[in-house]
Amino acid sequence: MFFRHKRSGRTEYLQIVKNERVDGKPRQSVVATLGRVDELAQDGTLDRLLRSGARFTHSAVVLTAYERGEATKVVTRQLGPALAFERLWQETGCRRVIGELAGEREFQFDLERAVFLTVLHRLFDPGSDRAAEKWRHGLVINGVGDLELHQLYRAMGWLGDELADQSGRGLAPRTTKDRVEERLFALRNNLFSELNLVFLDTTSLYFEGAGGQSLGQYGHSKDHRPDLKQVVLAVVIDGRGRPICSELWPGNTTDVTTLLPVIERLKTRFLIARIGIVADRGMISAATLGELEARNIDYILGVRERATKEIRGVILDPTPSVPLSIPKAAGRGTTDLLVKDVVRSGRGADGRPWRRRYIVCRNEAEAEMDKAARDAILAALEAALRRGDKSLVGNRGYRRFLKLAAGRRFEIDPRRVTLDAVFDGTYVLRTNTALTPLQAVLRYRERWMVEDIFRSAKSLLATRPIFHKYDETIRSHIFCSFLALVMRKELEDRLAADGHRLEWADIVHDLERLSETEVEQDAKRYILRNTAPGCAGIVLRTLGVALPPLIRCAQPPPTPLRSERALRAEPPTKASGDERRNRPPCPHFSPIEGTARLPRAPSPRSRPARPEDRRRARGVDDPPASVRS
């Protein structure tokens, strides 16, 4: 039913109308006409009517009181983060796998809830485990109310514990987190799926503290902090961009030494018969390429263009280029390339034949930008040479264009300038596959998925484990960041499948704004939920998560008392000696219901028959009163 304005001439009337279906068709009928709208508003009749009806609905009363500031606000908590990612945590198998593995140990707390809290903290407010323990108090998360900080530390230690069976270990020992990765991989793969292509990239994470017992080492810092100890983190993803596993090595590990151990571990851990590698130029060395060829492993690798004369000759090879147009992500146009396939062959010093296949790609738009950058450097260099050349040698941007002239003075070398122009907008791939140039270029360009993970999710991975002293807790701390990447990728894939392209920052912000507030009104407590803000509703609908009601009672309904008939139907039990001694003194106290009961009057069937009643039943008159007395 609803209110409706009914105009009759210049007068408006207020009616109560109800909807109903008659013969399968909607039909409206007037329940009552309340009167003229102006008169109802003038004498307050409508306000009194609404207030009178509001007594029968608690929701309207509580909402009105809250909006007027008459209800007491108890606490407000974020509802969106756990509401969305609890579903993903379960459907990706993380809850099941961690719960089963934790069940092998007799922990006195819910370890799976501790790990989930840590992963959720990485997604929304990355930081330390101490910060996660404080952060949880402002959220609605099932099962974490009793967790303490030392239990979060125990959960981290468990994930990083070294396994007794170290078969198949590589640069790092096998730990519990390896078993989690392997079981997650087994859950999402079946007999007909295979891992024939993986992408690998690395990054470095620095520490403010000591960095564990052996992991924290000085090395080449990609964060430009060579003064601090670091670890090297590698992430492996499959051809669909889903994270498979992570590896953590000491900070002085170089990229060129990691590729082969990762390949061997992937084959051992995930039972892969054949695997293909796509990696950047930083992971290539002559020894690595030789091993890949000897093991017959397919690869598509970037090449350092300026490293050897052979590569410069490949770029200048007269083989004609084929134009190639590749669509960009999110419909942002196309990338136009000129691609050519160049093969070099010969015999080595040992007389064995060798064959190398290169694919040269030139991007004209990037070539223009490289030319403009070089022209700017040369213009600044010419101005600097007129002022003096002693300080120019230390500048790497200037030094590559200089030569030593007569009189021990520096000048610009035109030959070097021409040679540098050869590499404008150009990159070179080396592969041993039978893929066409187009297929190989597309595969290599899919490497952006790994780079995008490291670039856009750096805040997830770069959570400094300042408070951890041991290698095992450092491993598990960063592994929780990897699990956060798994959750994020799953959510983004589902949104993309439904046609939604949302920014990650917007998702986090809007889910954090979805909250519930506990208020007190008339000695009762209620929980009020706000409407789903921004894209939070889209995210929850995509995940199939239903929102709780806008208002609900905070107190659980009272437990219904058991009926007297059910109590009488129970067979009597013999009380023990302790029960008899502890029995309450009141004979009418019901220990089952916990309330005092008055003695019931006997029913007519159970009331004892009087003597006069028995005589009447036999047809004998009652004796005189003197006899009865």
The residues pairing with 242 across neighbouring beta strands, listed in sequence order, are none
Same domain, 139 and 156: yes
pLDDT at 604: 46
Residue 342 CA to residue 317 CA, distance in Å, equals 8
pLDDT at 196: 67
Same domain, 90 and 52: no
Query: What angle, 0 to 180 degrees and rounded to 10, lies between the N-to-C axes of helices 471-497 and 94-102?
Result: 150
Same domain, 351 and 427: yes
pLDDT at 596: 40
Q: Which of 76-80, 227-231, 288-292, 390-394 has the highest mean pLDDT?
A: 76-80
User: Does residue 627 have a pLDDT over 50?
Assistant: no
* 519-528: average pLDDT: 79
In 3-state terms, what secondary structure has residue 322?
A: strand
- What is the DSSP annotation of 127-157? --HHHHHHHGGGB--TT-TT--HHHHHHHHH
pLDDT at 465: 47
Residue 196 resides in a domain: no
Contact (Cβ atoms closer than 8 angstroms) between residue 214 and residue 471: yes
Contact (Cβ atoms closer than 8 angstroms) between residue 4 and residue 12: no
562-587 per-residue burial string, b: 16 or more CB within 10 A, e: under 16: eeeeeeeeeeeeeeeeeeeeeeeeee
How remote is the C-alpha of 385 from its chain's centroid?
55
Residue 396 CA to residue 413 CA, distance in Å, equals 15
- What is the DSSP annotation of 379-445? HHHHHHHHH-STTSTT-HHHHTTEEEETTTEEEE-HHHHHHHHTTTTEEEEEE-S---HHHHHHHHH
Q: Which residues, other chains included, contact 393 with Cβ-Cβ below 8 Å and sequence gap of 6+?
A: 399, 402, 410
Residue 120 banded pLDDT, cuts 50, 70, 90: very high
Same domain, 418 and 517: no
Which tokens sit at 272? 């892969």
* Structural domain span for residue 153: 79-161+488-503
* 247-272: average pLDDT: 77
244-253, 394-403, 431-440, 458-467: lowest mean pLDDT where?
458-467
Q: Give the residue carrying structure tokens 């979805």.
A: 514
Give which of 74, 84, 247, 243 is closest to 175, Cα–Cα: 247
Model confidence over 559-587: pLDDT tens digits? 555 554 454 555 555 545 555 445 544 44
The residue out of 402, 421, 436 marking a domain boundary is 436
Residue 610 resides in a domain: no
The residue out of 415, 436, 457 marking a domain boundary is 436
- What is the DSSP annotation of 10-26? TEEEEEEEEEEEETTEE
Higher pLDDT, 215 or 125: 125
Q: Report the domain count for the chain.
A: 4
175-179, 234-238, 475-479: lowest mean pLDDT where?
234-238
Distances (CA, A) of 153 to 119, 143, 172, 417: 14, 17, 21, 57
Same domain, 32 and 116: no
In 3-state terms, what secondary structure has residue 77?
A: strand
Residue 333 resides in a domain: yes
Query: How many percent of the chain have pLDDT more than 70?
Result: 74
User: Does residue 172 have a pLDDT over 50?
Assistant: yes
Same domain, 367 and 399: yes
Contact (Cβ atoms closer than 8 angstroms) between residue 401 and residue 422: no
Residue 113 banded pLDDT, cuts 50, 70, 90: very high
Higher pLDDT, 173 or 600: 173
Residue 359 banded pLDDT, cuts 50, 70, 90: very high
Contact (Cβ atoms closer than 8 angstroms) between residue 237 and residue 225: no
Residue 494 banded pLDDT, cuts 50, 70, 90: very high
Residue 145 banded pLDDT, cuts 50, 70, 90: confident
* 217-237: average pLDDT: 76
Q: Give the residue carrying structure tokens 């099932």.
A: 142
* 159-168: average pLDDT: 83
Higher pLDDT, 454 or 477: 477
Q: Which residues, other chains included, contact 447 with Cβ-Cβ below 8 Å and sequence gap of 6+?
A: 199, 201, 278, 279, 280
Q: ∠51-57-58 over CA atoms, to 5°?
A: 105
Residue 274 CA to residue 266 CA, distance in Å, equals 10
Q: Which of 30-39, 104-113, 284-293, 520-529 has the highest mean pLDDT?
A: 104-113
Residue 476 banded pLDDT, cuts 50, 70, 90: confident
Residue 487 banded pLDDT, cuts 50, 70, 90: very high
The residues pairing with 78 across neighbouring beta strands, listed in sequence order, are 139, 515
pLDDT at 15: 85
Residue 590 banded pLDDT, cuts 50, 70, 90: very low
Residue 121 CA to residue 591 CA, distance in Å, equals 47
Same domain, 100 and 50: no
Beta strand pairing call for 298-303 and 276-279: parallel
Same domain, 336 and 399: yes
Query: What is the strand order of the sheet 551-553 is part of?
Result: 72-78, 515-521, 524-529, 551-553
Residue 218 resides in a domain: no
Model confidence over 51-102: pLDDT tens digits? 777 666 666 666 666 666 766 777 888 999 999 999 999 999 999 999 999 9
- The pTM score is 0.68
Same domain, 335 and 432: yes
* 256-268: average pLDDT: 77
R_g of the chain, CA atoms, integer Å: 39
Beta strand pairing call for 426-431 and 409-412: unpaired
* 257-278: average pLDDT: 77
Residue 108 resides in a domain: yes
> Distance between terminal CA atoms of the chain?
74
Residue type, 626: S
Task: Sort 291 into a burial class: Cβ within 10 Å, 0-12 / 13-18 / 19+.
Answer: middle
Higher pLDDT, 596 or 318: 318
Same domain, 427 and 319: yes
Residue 401 resides in a domain: yes
Give which of 77, 3, 24 is closest to 554, Cα–Cα: 77
Give which of 429, 461, 426, 410 is closest to 299, Cα–Cα: 429
Residue 474 resides in a domain: no
Residue 620 CA to residue 415 CA, distance in Å, equals 145
Residue 265 CA to residue 168 CA, distance in Å, equals 6
User: Does residue 606 have a pLDDT over 50?
Assistant: no
Residue 414 resides in a domain: yes
Model confidence over 420-451: pLDDT tens digits? 888 898 989 999 888 888 888 888 877 766 66
Which tokens sit at 560? 């219904």
Which tokens sit at 582? 């502890």
Residue 177 CA to residue 72 CA, distance in Å, equals 46
Same domain, 24 and 117: no
User: Does residue 558 have a pLDDT over 50?
Assistant: yes
pLDDT at 381: 81
Q: ∠396-400-404 over CA atoms, to 5°?
A: 110
Question: Average model confidence (pLDDT) for the chain?
Answer: 77
Query: What is the strand order of the sheet 298-303 is part of?
Result: 243-250, 230-238, 198-206, 276-279, 298-303, 426-431, 353-363, 334-347, 322-327
Same domain, 120 and 46: no
User: Does residue 255 have a pLDDT over 70?
Assistant: no
Residue type, 575: A
pLDDT at 567: 47
